[in-house]
Amino acid sequence: MDVTESGHAARVSAYAAVGARLSLLSDRRLGNAVSAAPNLGRGIGGRSAELDVEGTRVFVKRVPLTDVELQPEHVRSTANVFGLPLFYQYGVGSTGFGAWRELAAHIMTTGWALKNEYAGFPLLYHWRVLPDSSPTGFVDGFGGVEGAVAHWEGSSAVRRRLEAIGSSSFSLVLFLEHVPQTLAEWLVDSRDTAPRQSGGESPYPWVENALLRGTEFMSARGLVHFDAHFANLLTDGQRVYFADFGLALSRDFELSAEERDFLDDHLVYDRSYAPDHLLRHHLPHDVRGGTEHGAFLREWVDGHQPADIAPDIGAIIDRHAPHAIVLDDFHHRLLTQSKRTPFPAAEIKRALAGGRG
C-alpha cells in the first residue's frame, strides 16, 4: 500500500462527502458558490479559487471550455480537436489541447489514488460545466494573441485555439482536493527557515525520491505530464502531489498514429524534466556560484565540482546531470531555433541508463 490505511481512509471519506454534497447542488447554486469564492488568481490554464464544503477546503479551477469543445461530436472527446501541432505539448507557453483532456487526466489519477496504487495526486471530487465570463489576459505574457501565435511559429491551429478560448462562455469547473503549498513554496520555506529538517536531514533527497516515484509511475501507465515544474507540484510536507494536468498526454486518449509515436518517444520526458527543474531552480542559491545552469552541469560531469557542496546535494547532481544536460540543450534549441526541434529520446534514455540518472 502506498500510504497508511488511516490516511487513505480519511481521503476516501472526504472524497465521498464532498463529492456527494457538490453533486446535489443545481448549476445555479453551484455557479453562485464558485462566483462568491475567494479568487486565488488566473493564468494561462484558467482561474482558481477555494471553497469550504462540508468542513473540507476545496480547490476550484475554472478551465475555459470553448464552443468547439462543446459541439456534440466533441463533448468529452480527448482527440486533438483543434488540430494543434505536437510541439504545442511542451510547457513553454502552451494553453493545452483542451479541457476534456485535463478532465480525463484527473479522472485517471483520482482512480489511481482511490485504489491506493499511488497517492501522489489530488483527488477530483466533482466537475461541472458552468456558464462563465470569457477569460482575459491569458496571453498577456506574449503581448496578446499575435505575439503568442508568433511564438508558436505562426501556427493557424494555435490561433484558432487562442481565439476560441478568448470567446468562450463556459468553463469546465474542477473541484479538487486542497493541498496547502506548491512544492516550490515549500522548498523556499525549507531553505530559508530550516536548511536542515529535524534530525539533520536535508529535504532534497526526499524531494528527489518523490519526483522519481511519481514520474516513473505515470510513465509506466502511459501518462506524460509535460509541465511538472514545482508550481504545478503540491505538498503537505508528507507527500508530493502531481497536479495541473493541462498539458497531459495519455495512451488512453483518442490519439492519431502520429500522436501515439510522439507519446512513446516522450515517456521519459517527465523523468528527466522534474529532476532537471530541481537542479535548475531549487537547489541552494550558492551551489552554482553564479554559473549558468547548462555550463555548471557540463563542468560538473567533466569533474570540475566545487568542494563545498553538501554530499547529499552533490549526489543528486551526480545522478541527474547527464540527462539534464541533454534536456537543457533540447529546450534551448526549442526556444531559440525551432519548435520543431526533434526530441532526443534515445540520448536521454542512454543518459538515464548510464547508472547515475
Name 43's Cβ contacts closer than 8 Å, sequence gap at least 6.
Answer: 138
The SS3 assignment for 20 reads: helix
- Domain boundaries along the sequence of the chain: 5-275, 283-352
pLDDT at 193: 61
DSSP per-residue string spanning 75-110: TT--S-TT---GGGGSSSS---S-HHHHHHHHHHHH
Compute the mean pLDDT over every residue in the chain, rounded to the nearest whole number: 94
Residues of 209-229 as b/e, b for ≥16 C-beta within 10 angstroms?
ebbbebbebbbebbbbbbbbb
Convert the pLDDT of each residue in 48-88 to its tens digit. Answer: 999 999 899 999 999 999 999 999 999 999 999 999 999 99
pLDDT at 198: 44
CATH top-level class of 5-275: mainly alpha
**How does residue 200 score in pLDDT terms, banded at 50, 70 and 90?**
low
Length of the chain: 357
* Residue closest to 149 by CA, chosen among 72, 65, 206, 93: 93
pLDDT at 6: 76
Rounded distance between C-alpha atoms, residue 104 and residue 77, angstroms: 9
Convert the pLDDT of each residue in 269-304 to its tens digit. Answer: 999 999 999 999 999 878 988 899 999 999 999 999
**How does residue 139 score in pLDDT terms, banded at 50, 70 and 90?**
very high
Convert the pLDDT of each residue in 213-230 to its tens digit. Answer: 999 999 999 999 999 999
pLDDT at 191: 74
pLDDT at 43: 77
Rounded distance between C-alpha atoms, residue 44 and residue 151, angstroms: 15
Q: Percent of the chain having pLDDT more than 90? A: 88
**pLDDT, mean of residues 132-152:** 95
| Helical (H) or strand (E) element with 18 | helix 5-23
**pLDDT, mean of residues 134-141:** 92
Whether 1 shows a pLDDT value over 90: the answer reads: no
Rounded distance between C-alpha atoms, residue 169 and residue 161, angstroms: 14
**pLDDT, mean of residues 253-279:** 99
- What pTM did the predictor assign? 0.94
